[in-house]
Amino acid sequence: MSTQDLPARIALLQVRSAFGGGRSTAPSTFRIQSGGPLLEYSAAVNALAQLPKPVGCAPHLGDGFIDLGARLLNAEERKAREQFVEYWRKRGGFLAEPHDPSSGDPGALVFCVGDDETLLCRVVDYNEFQESYDVAAGGLVGGPPGWFLNLDPAAAREAHRLGARHLLRFVEREDDRTSQSEGWTIAVRQGGWGNAQEVLEHAPGSGEVCRRCGKEPVKWRLTDTGPPDWPEVQLCGGCAADWLLEMERRMVARYRDSFAKHPPDYRGMAADLYQAIIERWKRLPVRDEVQAILEWFRKVANTGDAE
């Protein structure tokens, strides 16, 4: 397949992910248009790529195949699509991020993760996919690979290894949050949504000694996704707890002023943060100061009193 087929491949990846979704493997045989022949994947990509654009797809499952329901958009639909595309063009492209103008670089690599497949393309290919195909099935979440290290570490590390600027997940799995909710993976983002995050992963058994204290065996791996090389530090349980406690202190400092100014508005957020802290400390020795932090968030959540 040529790079010209990449937008069509992204469309089929999204469709297969919608019908598989991590629960079962979706078919890889397609009917592109109503009444058309059944095509295996490569032929389906080629047939879809050759259709006049923009194409609307309303897929549904057949007996062992996916009926893509592809058709040329009518005038009204085409106008709406053109407005949609123009809106994103003005923002710098479909993957451009307000805090980082370079993220819309047409040549930047994009790592797409589907139901049982991955695809490496460029921003320009993804933009063309959005301009050419209106797929009424599935969806995605995306961002820098580091944002997904706690959610899908294998995909995040592969995207980073390949030099991808963006990671797009077209599939949502039932166990996506299990590692976090059970405390095996801990992610801390410094500041707002656009900031890189540090991720602490339970990783015992290496036989190495903690890089901080130089005494206890390694139990955790700390990765900073801010620098380009994603530096890692191997930590014992105690040193991992010390690191996390410092992160909790910084978080409380960020929220204390906001909560004090508008306490009733933050009760729900305080309740969510309280639960997140409990999850983060499930596998680490809990410091006394953590109990005090928990008590403060619980008070804000229950009473609105942020003093």
Phi, psi for residue 258 in degrees, rounded to 5: -65, -45
Please indicate, yes or no, whether residues 160 and 188 belong to a single structural domain of this protein: no
Contact 129, 7 (CB under 8 A): yes
Q: Which amino acid is at 42?
A: S
- Do 159 and 185 lie in one domain? The reply is no
Amino acid at 125: D
Which of 169, 198, 228 is the endpoint of a domain?
Answer: 169
pTM: 0.88
Q: Which of 31, 10, 290 is nearest to 134 (CA)?
A: 10
Neighbour order of strands in the sheet with 70-72:
70-72, 55-57, 133-135
In terms of domains, do 116 and 19 share one? yes
Contacts with 222 (C-beta within 8 Å, 6 or more apart), sequence order: 198, 199, 200, 232, 233, 234, 235, 240, 243
Q: State the pairing for strand pair 185-189/197-202.
A: antiparallel
- Pair (182, 160) in one structural domain: no
Determine the structural domain holding residue 282 and report its residue range.
178-303
* Same structural domain, 165 and 184: no
Name the domain boundary from 169, 197, 223.
Answer: 169
Q: What pLDDT sits at residue 291?
A: 94
Q: Are residues 137 and 196 in the same domain?
A: no
Q: At what angle do helices 237-261 and 267-280 cross, to 10 degrees?
A: 180
Give the three-state DSSP class for 302.
helix
pLDDT of residue 22: 55
- Tell me which of 169, 199, 231 is where a domain ends: 169
Q: Which of 138, 135, 134 is nearest to 168 (CA)?
A: 138
Could you tell me the two tokens for 154? 């294998």
For residues 160 and 196, give the distance between their C-alpha atoms in angstroms, rounded to a whole number. Answer: 13
pLDDT at residue 176, as a whole number: 78
| Number of structural domains in the chain | 2
pLDDT along the chain (307 residues), means of 10: 81 91 76 94 96 94 94 94 93 86 90 93 96 89 91 94 96 82 87 71 91 96 94 96 94 83 78 94 94 92 82
Residues 6+ positions from 71 with CB-CB distance below 8 Å: 33, 34, 55, 56
Residues 198, 70 share a domain: no
Indicate if 293 and 151 belong to the same structural domain.
no
